Structure 1
Amino acid sequence: MSGTRNQSLLPTLDITSFTNCFKGPALCLYNDAVFSQEDWNGVRKLCDSIKKDDPLRVGQFGLGFKSAFHITDYITIISGSQLLFMDPSAPLLFIDPSKPPVDQKCRFVPLSDLGKVLPESIALQLWGTYLTFQHILTGTFPATLFWFPLRQQPSQLSPTVYTKDRVRQLFDSFSVEAPICLTFLRALEQVSLQRVEIDLRTSVLVHQVGYHNDGVSDARQQRQNLRHILHQCEGRPSTSITSQYQVTIHNTKDGQVSKQTMLVLHYLPGQQDKYCIKYKGNEPHRYIPLVGVAVPTQPIATSWAQGSLFTFLPLPLDPANATGLPVQVNAYFTLDQNRRHVKWRTHKSSKEPDNESSVNDPTAPTMEQDPRAPTVEQSSVYDPPDFPMELESSIEDPSLQDTDLQPEGEITFQLIEKGTRHCRDKLIDSLGYTYKKKMQ
């Protein structure tokens, strides 16, 4: 919430008012980065979002931080030198008629004063995996911790009770997408799910997926460079932008470890290129024609035969979200209301002016070839061993007609085709082969 209301610490600490924020069982999230002031400003806007109109923010495609209130009525955040206690149902507190009321929905407390609202021994028992006495003493926590007490009974916010079993189901559903969830994210490198036993001392690793040391430095640098360039040009470069890197992702579950090495390519056409792509629907500033493709290099994953669609995170793994290509595809797709599927343009919607789904519009202008992009020489043929040549053949495969991602959706299809061929060329080059396609 924002405005003239005071959102700082109450003049006199009412310890009992914080009790609900520390209860268990709870879902605990830890991130090794510290909140910026912009993060603090955004997270306390309970009825708004700072990301929805920013095309460079991945969060605009998700359900958002406020979706945490589906499982809890109270949130505690510890980051840097501050704690934030959130209670959306808390009433305004009128202390002095001459002053604005105190908004108890969001209350800040310096980390050094944590002992005034919660005994330090209990704080260390709850969060001792990450928080230490030294952090409390110095008043600085070099990371961010979220504490979501599970809703134990119906409340003003929601009638839904959230049990430990439902959290386990949440973990299980994540495990389905875990091996590919990091593919197109711009900063995250590892996700670990752990179950802490009732004694709060023993933790069990449920699932972990993360970048392996091989190539991680280059991938990190390439992703940082891409973020920097996108922010500099606000997602509208004058000339095309490409970024590619190879990364190995380790997936650990039930003591079993698997790994997948992939080549990832990001491509964004420029405003001064031979072609210029413009979104024709509502709120055009929210969408940029950035596309990413990822191809497995070792091993060649058979599970990628149909591929998946992403809006930075994978859409639910069902046939409606299959690419029809042996690659993963990321783009600024418009999504349906529940954010589970791409909103494809239909015959009916094509007659509606400024329809938002026109991002996937088959009537959009055909994209012409960029003369500066890498191409494949049209002469003789050489097939490198163990290279997934179905990567190219699937683009012209008639079976592609069974998916929504077919050539009649010219703008989307050609971006993916271009990115796929570019990715293939980079892969062959990285393997030390020379590849030339046979003239037809």
Structure 2
Amino acid sequence: MIRKRKRTVQYQVFQPNGRKKTITVKVGGTKTESTSPCSTLSPPACKIPEPSVPIAENKNKKSRDYNETKQSRITEWTRVMPLLTKAQLESFCPTTNDCSVCHQQLTEKFRCIDCMRDPVCLSCLQAAHGRPHLHIFEGWKNGTYLGYDCETPTWKRESHECNSLYSKTLAVVDSLGRQHKRTILFCRCEPEAVTLVRHQLWPSSPKNPTIAFDFELMKWFYGLLLEGHLSLRSFVTALSTPQSKHEVGYTKKEILNVYKVMVTETTEQFRYFWYQQQYGDVGQIKLDNGTECPACFKMDTKVFSMDADFQLVRKNSSGKSWEQPKHSGQFFLEQESVDSFISSLQSTAAEKNAQPVHDCHEFQAGNALRSKVKNSKLSETAVFGSVCRHEFPHAFFSLRHGERLGYPIFLLQHILQTHPVHTKIHVTYDIACVLEKHLKV
């Protein structure tokens, strides 16, 4: 009798979803009769498990685990929900008759819904809010908390003294969308908008502002606009949701239509202001403006893909630009240079003869007859641009006509001018055959 040794065999099973799974099987370890010395060298009999069986079992196990976990979470939420509701209702009532700060017995109970949830006396409440703030107070009266108006300190610059000081009352919108009336001390040494920025308040207008917005509120909209594509109207509508029905009456609506105030240049100017804080130049230090791909920053070989998007049009009825673009020369190139370059090119015989080769599809891009046509109702017919191999935007500009060959030529010249001579550049384009033929001619 010969006892065979146990050994471990690993099998790689490829599941239908493309994932690879390794299965370990122990084989051997049984007593067998041997009539030949060479029989010990033969591999032991082993049945390779069918891939479909463990995959199905694994899926069923994962499904059971998910269902059990999901049901367990729902059960726990159901169990704890009455306790959460009770705790929230208890927070609406004072839990003690002593001041939580000075521990004196209270004859009148107050609290701040932003920073002091426990009852305090009026002296401790005013002492804790001795500096300018945008908090809301409550007072216990008739068995419930009601809004309490308390005199707030004047907003002023501590380190500035002059003889031209004057005070002004403004409507201030805090980070939760609540409106306050605050007195702010200004001076004639600087514009009122500058003084508001020193207090982390954004003015509604550059001259004689009557409304100011908290920086945190403006930054919230800045982030939601970039990441969530939230419209300004939806943002203003959502400002009322953080406040409960009980707290809505605590503040008066000094501004009846917040959207009408923010839809002007106020929001756009803050976006550019905050962009400068993040990516602008600080003295002699030039910060990263976020327009260069970090993955191919130091690569000697760069790959760019070019194409036009004719769904991005601009109608003549859309209005006009009142000022120069604030981010000109970063992602979008100067449109005047593009238009001047295209107008200087004349439709030559080489461009007319530069048609796709026989194995290409019938692309209309680059066709001289089609690209002559300019829609009279559109001031910009498309956006032409390029991205790197990591899909990071590189350079763009607007088209005034169809996809003429002059547009990719202009972009190629820009790429060559903005990169060192030793850089190897590869370009992909849907009608590269036409462009190559045109450049060779």
Do the two structures share a fold, i.e. TM-score over 0.5? no
Q: Under a length normalisation based on structure 1, what TM-score does the superposition of the two structures give?
A: 0.23
Higher helix proportion (structure 1 or 2): 2
Q: Under a length normalisation based on structure 2, what TM-score does the superposition of the two structures give?
A: 0.23
